[in-house]
Structure 1
Amino acid sequence: MQITWPDPAAIDWGTALSTAQLNAKASVAGTFTYAPAVGAKPEVGVQTLSLTFTPQDKTKYPTTTVVRKLTVHKAQPPVRWDLPSAVLQGTALTSSQITTAPYAIYGIQGTADPASYMTADGKPLGTATTAAAGTALVQATFVPKDSAHYISSVISTTLTIAPAPAMAAIDFGDAKQTVQGFGGSAAWYYNKMTDDRMNVLFGTSGADSLGLSILRLRIAPADWNASARTADTGQWTAELENGISAQARGALVFASPWSPPASLKIVNADRTNPLYSGRLDPAKYADYAQYLNAYIRYAASRNVKLYAVSLQNEPDWDPKDYESCLWNADEMTAWVGGYGAAAISGTTTKLMAPESFYYSQATTDTLLADAKAASALSIVGGHLYGGTPNYSGAAQKLGKEVWMTEHFLDSVNKADGKTSWPTSVDDAIAMAKEVHDGLTLSQYNAYVHWWLVNSNDATPTGLIGTNNKPTYFGIGLKHFSYFIRPGYVHYDATSLPQKGVRVSAFGTPPGAADSKAVVVLVNENAADVTLTTSIAPAGRSLTSLTPYRTTANATFERQPAIGVSANTFSISLPAKSITTLVN
């Protein structure tokens, strides 16, 4: 009689035991009794799991007890930090001037450590210069009251330094990150989208065109022959067709697996499908690298040159009814450090991780703290479900791109009892606020929405409807994606010059022959706002700016140009509006 029970991967406190940990097998029939049982939530520390196997035929086989050790880490609290009010240029900066403080949700108590306030690059807060108007990134450490179960968590926010009350400033001499683009997902799109649809999504010439420049594909869990190192590539073909069309329109294409093939997993017996949940078998780490490499090469043979490939979609989310695979930070670090280079070997494709469900900073920090893993990794990806944009100091220090690779917003018009609803200008503003915060605070290099097209027009979450007309979510994103082209740079600006007004600035790189400028203004207030903005042109000749405006009554409507005099312009922003200015 033989009993096999893999060493369970570490979990975070609060995780209930399941067959992901309690998954022993025996070579003969019998019953398995675990202590603690399925559903128990072990305490923090190294805990003992016990299995008693009672064979069906007790005359031939003895009852056997096996133990395994399980490491339970402290959990990371979900922390938020609302944008504070602006401070005036020239002010001596102290933590007491910051009008908001970090806090945790879901009833988790705690406070920010007063001594932890500093600039995002780790300098004391007093060294943050307010001599120039713009935006300072500041961070603090949230210390949970329940330190036995939660780790302290670093959180960032943007502090606006205004040249005068209710006035904004833009500095085209202070370049931040390069923007790779904006996009959405075609996961599970087995049919090739029509040219009309692709032109709306990725074009820049039609009235409804969104100007997207990134497409995310799903890597279907194709059957894998480990001995021949080949996959059933027919399972990949259909979804790659949209990659061909998007790439033909100048888009970057990257791909994410929702699950490895079942043959490479330790499956979760609680699920109805081996592709749901489970973990990558450590004995199959090399096979998984070869599998991803095979996908990259097959995509190239179909004329899809992948910009990046992710090792796993949402490794920290365990749904019951669709493809998934769980990884903890230690497993991911071991695979990326040991096998990540092999996954992209012989290609120009970049490796992305971790694509956390809620943009887990702790997982990112663990990955990047390992020299081998950090060397293999080019892009830090993540989602915003249950999370908010946050600055990754570790990624910035190591020069890694940071991408938001999936999120969607529910419409403000959604309500209990309703079976259908339209999108509205409030949805466009919500989208624009999230993109703004991601680009200015997190300094994302890319923002990628979830599905491109509504799965159900009655309950819209996509960027366009099935009629190829933009939803207000699409319109909100268009205010960035249409004019901010791949390779443009984010420049410093007063991100929140007054309550309810957001300002962000972009343009061609310093020294470019065509000095393009793009300014996005979001007014979420219920009243009109007049905003005066000063510009440090840094060699750009700006004499006028043309507004494109969305309100409750108009979408992306071109307005008469406004003048720029003595490097200053003034503009009236209607209530609940988004305005993009271009030269």
Structure 2
Amino acid sequence: MRRRTKWMVRTGTAILATGTLLLGTAVSGVAHPRPTAVVDFSDVRQTIDGFGGSFAFHKAGAIQRLGEPLTSRMLDMIFDDRAGIGLDIVRVMVGDGGTWGDQLYDGPTQTIEPAPGVFVWDQPDWPQRKAAFDAHQIWLMREAHKRGVRTFLASVWSPPAWMKQNNSVVSSGPDGPPNKIRPDMYQAYADYLAEYVLGYEHEFGIRITHVSPTNEPEVTTGYSSSQWTAEELRVLVRDHLGPTFARRGVPADIVLGEGVNFDERFAQAAISDPAANAYVDVVAAHGYAGLVDEATRAAPGAFATSQALGKTIWQTEYMNQGAPRDRLFVNSTITDGLRYATLIGNLFDETRLNAYFWWWPVANNGADGSDLIRLVNTGTPQSGNPTENGQYRIFKRYYTVGQYSRFVDRGDVMIGATKAPAPGVTLTAYKGHRDFSVVVVNNNPGDVTIDVDLTGGAPRPRAVVPYRTSASENMKRLPDIHTRGGRSFTATLRGQSVTTFVPEWSKLPGLPDRKDVFSTYLAEENDGQSRGLKVRATPDRGKIVTGVRDGSYLRWANVNFADGSAAGFADQKGELRLHATVAPRAGGVIEARVDGPRGPLVGTMTVAPGSGTDWVTATTWVDTSPAGANGFHDLYLVFRGADGSLFDVDTAAFSD
């Protein structure tokens, strides 16, 4: 029998399918204390600057091309905390006039200074060129501002070519000149960045709040890049960039580092020099290396100097690079989502992180794990024909990152809390003026019940409101949990889930019900079923649906099949399978249909008779043609067979 990961709780005892007993259960009359997490509102830690994402290399252009109402829907899903996950920070690319691999990614970026001393807004033709200049990013920043975003980070991949030793914004190869700025151009570069900030506010009404002079300074490659050493960055900031910003009244903070490794190596020389440190506002790094324990925490001491100096620390770029081109279906499921939820909590707790960024929140690309939302297309930007078709996929990581970003607001502070109230469970907590949020990640396969005590002058809500993402749920708003005098509450954490608890006065609406092929569909949590079906609890599989007879059906509403390519590759279009886990009795046929119990047939599974106690998984390819499971549809499992009971039903799930 295939072991399930459901738990069943009855008469005070929680039993896993394997027989494992959960903490807080009663065994042979011996009471074990339930795990308790203490959230101490008087233990104030770092201020949260927010959660962000990048739109470098014209990624906003794909959102624009969707057209209304999809364009606004995508923007709301990213930036609005009522309709989406409420990102607070936008990271943009300072244009350098170069390209990504010869006109890829919608062509070259535009620089404000294409030649020494020649700024675009000082030229006679500027009124005619202005509307098209950096149009995608300008539009995106304005739309984000409409939705409450006030923090804009501009990072430099490369200075303009005329400032470089190789006269190029990309690498000239192993035998070419160094891919570095010329030593005599440091002041010109400082003036360039000052002009960028001042010019964007004057010309476009956009206040760039943070500037990073380098992106991944150890990298030299065929796209925009420029190498720096930590000592060179110290000199740049101390002698040029900092004094220039101060002299010209540039209202932007300086962000330093942004190396590939999640550590402070590229900022350490500057922050260890008091004269340079005075100008460094944020120490930043990316998360592509230097993370340990399966990429869920920072290496010890990675930011020791920054922490000792009380510096603000940002993680400004990370994504799921996954298997080669993200061909593992699991990299889009709750397994992937839990990885990032655990990572975020650990970084806020251990590194005292102030902000966390994803790479591309919404993008049209070649399915490499870069996105939270992927726009389906008939040609990626790399192909030179970036045509979106109006379909999209929402990966589980969108929701698990959102379990933080939607509820933890800019300006909130992290507060002390029991980090690991039970094995496999991590908890972090945050508070605002009156609000608070408690985010709990349960990496265990089974449910865990915990008590949460609110201490240290905590507000006293009559109830807390939980929102949960699990294998079968996407940030689902659950019923209120009443507190005990506003001081504590008890919650059962679903296996492999992320749950955020907020006070009753801070509740947000549930997100629109958009199901996806990356979720598990529990039979008992369907959206509609035929008469005669019943839900029954079992000791080994939790709740199941029984009473299945000829013509019975289960329905799940609003499933997003997109174009039918499970992992998002054009060459995998239509490679989608559906699995139904059942205990056959008389057996029969399971039909997969869309839009009704007599709707289009998209798959068929035949199951032989059985004992009714042995569980099997039946599989079918899914017809994802335009007339089948393509785009959003209700999914039906319809059961056919002879008289009598045909099956008991546990789950349905998809794979590639």
Q: TM-score range by the shorter chain?
A: 0.5 to 0.7
Match of 1:431 among 336, 340, 346: 340
When the two chains are superposed, the root-mean-square deviation of aligned CA atoms in Å is 2.7
In the alignment, the residues of structure 1 paired with residue 243 and residue 158 of structure 2 have an alpha-carbon distance, to the nearest angstrom, of 19
Does the Cα contact within 8 Å between 1:429 and 1:476 map onto a contact in 2? Answer: yes
Q: How does 1:87-98 map to 2 (within 5 A)?
A: none
In the alignment, the residues of structure 1 paired with residue 325 and residue 270 of structure 2 have an alpha-carbon distance, to the nearest angstrom, of 41
Distance 1:457 1:559, change over 3 A: farther
Q: What code does the residue aligned with 2:224 have? A: E
Secondary structure, in 3 states, of the residue corresponding to 2:85? Answer: coil
Are 1:572 and 2:481 counterparts? no
Secondary structure, in 3 states, of the residue corresponding to 1:518? Answer: strand
Does the Cα contact within 8 Å between 2:115 and 2:162 map onto a contact in 1? Answer: no
In the alignment, the residues of structure 2 paired with residue 250 and residue 441 of structure 1 have an alpha-carbon distance, to the nearest angstrom, of 29
Give, in angstroms, the shift of residue 498 of structure 1. 2.6
| CA offsets 1:531-573 (integer angstroms, 9 cap, x no match) | 2222214141233211101111111111111122252222111
In the alignment, the residues of structure 1 paired with residue 309 and residue 339 of structure 2 have an alpha-carbon distance, to the nearest angstrom, of 31
Q: What code does the residue aligned with 2:254 have? A: L
Match of 1:295 among 196, 200, 205: 196
Distance 1:410 1:531, change over 3 A: farther
Are 1:240 and 2:138 counterparts? yes
Q: What code does the residue aligned with 2:86 have? A: G
In the alignment, the residues of structure 1 paired with residue 359 and residue 395 of structure 2 have an alpha-carbon distance, to the nearest angstrom, of 14
Are 1:211 and 2:109 counterparts? no
In the alignment, the residues of structure 1 paired with residue 340 and residue 94 of structure 2 have an alpha-carbon distance, to the nearest angstrom, of 27
Match of 1:373 among 273, 276, 300: 276
Give, in angstroms, the shift of residue 343 of structure 1. 4.8
Are 1:357 and 2:268 counterparts? no
- Residue in structure 2 matched with residue 540 of structure 1 by the alignment: 459
Give, in angstroms, the shift of residue 264 of structure 1. 0.7
Runs of 5+ in structure 2 lacking a partner? Answer: 1-32, 65-70, 97-110, 122-129, 292-297, 376-390, 504-656
Q: How does 1:154-553 map to 2 (within 5 A)?
A: 166-189=35-58, 191=61, 193=64, 194-206=71-83, 209-221=84-96, 222=111, 224=113, 228=117, 230-231=119-120, 236-251=134-149, 252-267=151-166, 271-272=171-172, 278-300=179-201, 301-318=203-220, 320-344=221-245, 345-388=248-291, 389=298, 392-411=303-322, 414=323, 418=327, 423-456=332-365, 458-466=367-375, 467=391, 470-508=394-432, 512=433, 515-553=434-472
Distance 1:415 1:572, change over 3 A: farther
Distance 1:335 1:372, change over 3 A: same
Give, in angstroms, the shift of residue 575 of structure 1. 1.0
Q: What code does the residue aligned with 1:480 have? A: Y
Could you tell me the TM-score, scaled by structure 1's length?
Answer: 0.66
In the alignment, the residues of structure 2 paired with residue 539 and residue 421 of structure 1 have an alpha-carbon distance, to the nearest angstrom, of 39
Secondary structure, in 3 states, of the residue corresponding to 2:362? Answer: coil
Does the Cα contact within 8 Å between 2:55 and 2:91 map onto a contact in 1? Answer: yes
Does the Cα contact within 8 Å between 1:340 and 1:373 map onto a contact in 2? Answer: no
In the alignment, the residues of structure 2 paired with residue 276 and residue 483 of structure 1 have an alpha-carbon distance, to the nearest angstrom, of 49
In the alignment, the residues of structure 2 paired with residue 575 and residue 382 of structure 1 have an alpha-carbon distance, to the nearest angstrom, of 32
Give, in angstroms, the shift of residue 290 of structure 1. 0.8
In the alignment, the residues of structure 2 paired with residue 210 and residue 299 of structure 1 have an alpha-carbon distance, to the nearest angstrom, of 27
Distance 1:263 1:385, change over 3 A: same
Does the Cα contact within 8 Å between 1:293 and 1:342 map onto a contact in 2? Answer: no
| CA offsets 1:343-402 (integer angstroms, 9 cap, x no match) | 533221111101111133333322211112101111111101112235634323434221
Distance 1:199 1:348, change over 3 A: same
Distance 1:225 1:458, change over 3 A: closer
Secondary structure, in 3 states, of the residue corresponding to 1:184? Answer: strand
In the alignment, the residues of structure 1 paired with residue 263 and residue 354 of structure 2 have an alpha-carbon distance, to the nearest angstrom, of 17
| CA offsets 1:212-251 (integer angstroms, 9 cap, x no match) | 1111000111273665352588754442221111122111
Distance 1:427 1:277, change over 3 A: farther
Distance 1:416 1:443, change over 3 A: closer
Query: Aligned pairs, how many?
Result: 410
Give, in angstroms, the shift of residue 331 of structure 1. 0.4
In the alignment, the residues of structure 1 paired with residue 154 and residue 366 of structure 2 have an alpha-carbon distance, to the nearest angstrom, of 26
Does the Cα contact within 8 Å between 1:333 and 1:367 map onto a contact in 2? Answer: yes
Q: What code does the residue aligned with 1:316 have? A: E
Secondary structure, in 3 states, of the residue corresponding to 2:141? Answer: helix
Distance 1:290 1:236, change over 3 A: farther
Secondary structure, in 3 states, of the residue corresponding to 1:340? Answer: helix
In the alignment, the residues of structure 2 paired with residue 307 and residue 184 of structure 1 have an alpha-carbon distance, to the nearest angstrom, of 15
Distance 1:417 1:441, change over 3 A: closer
Secondary structure, in 3 states, of the residue corresponding to 1:565? Answer: coil
Distance 1:220 1:343, change over 3 A: farther
In the alignment, the residues of structure 2 paired with residue 166 and residue 529 of structure 1 have an alpha-carbon distance, to the nearest angstrom, of 9
Q: What code does the residue aligned with 1:188 have? A: F
Does the Cα contact within 8 Å between 2:152 and 2:208 map onto a contact in 1? Answer: yes
Moved more, 186-195 or 281-290: 186-195
Runs of 5+ in structure 1 lacking a partner? Answer: 1-163
In the alignment, the residues of structure 1 paired with residue 393 and residue 347 of structure 2 have an alpha-carbon distance, to the nearest angstrom, of 26
In the alignment, the residues of structure 2 paired with residue 165 and residue 362 of structure 1 have an alpha-carbon distance, to the nearest angstrom, of 43
Secondary structure, in 3 states, of the residue corresponding to 1:484? Answer: coil
Q: Tell me which structure has the larger Cα radius of gyration.
A: 2
Q: What code does the residue aligned with 1:406 have? A: E
Could you tell me the TM-score, scaled by structure 2's length?
Answer: 0.59
Give, in angstroms, the shift of residue 276 of structure 1. 11
In the alignment, the residues of structure 2 paired with residue 416 and residue 257 of structure 1 have an alpha-carbon distance, to the nearest angstrom, of 26
In the alignment, the residues of structure 2 paired with residue 231 and residue 326 of structure 1 have an alpha-carbon distance, to the nearest angstrom, of 26
Q: What code does the residue aligned with 2:77 have? A: V
Does the Cα contact within 8 Å between 2:426 and 2:441 map onto a contact in 1? Answer: yes
Q: What code does the residue aligned with 2:420 have? A: L
In the alignment, the residues of structure 1 paired with residue 331 and residue 186 of structure 2 have an alpha-carbon distance, to the nearest angstrom, of 46
